[in-house]
Amino acid sequence: MLTKDGIRTLANVVIVDPTQADLLPQSCAIQGFVTFNAAQAKERSYRNRHPSDQFLPLTIEVFGCLHKHIDVFLHSCANAIWSLKGIEGPHFSTFITFLCQKISITLQRM
């Protein structure tokens, strides 16, 4: 995705299972541990990207925990959609919630 200020955003989506045997103790103790761990692994694998590129590791736990980069990504998508459609008004947070629900429903159907 290319932002309006010319910065290229690279996104990589990973769905992780917090019940993996090697991650279970930490995922029980720390909410979001598995998403954080997966995001760090993706950051390491993309460390040789161009310095001007923004990288968003979009990690989601099977049981619903979303990494903080999901919010950044959804806000970028929502801003792009709203500007393309010419929508204005106070319903931006409602639209973000709608996008999160769509992700959740899609994951539940998998």
Q: 38 Cβ partners below 8 Å, 6+ apart?
A: 14, 16, 57, 59, 67
pLDDT tens readout for residues 33-60: 888 888 999 999 988 988 888 888 888 8
Contact 101/79 with Cβ under 8 angstroms?
no
DSSP state of 8: B
Q: How many whole angstroms separate alpha carbon 3 and alpha carbon 106?
A: 26
Greatest alpha-carbon span in the chain: 48
Q: What is the pLDDT of residues 7-34, one digit of tens each?
A: 788 888 888 888 888 888 888 888 888 8
Question: pLDDT tens for residues 74-106?
Answer: 888 787 777 777 776 667 777 777 777 777 767
Alpha-helix residue ranges (DSSP H) falling in the chain: 24-29, 33-45, 68-85, 92-109
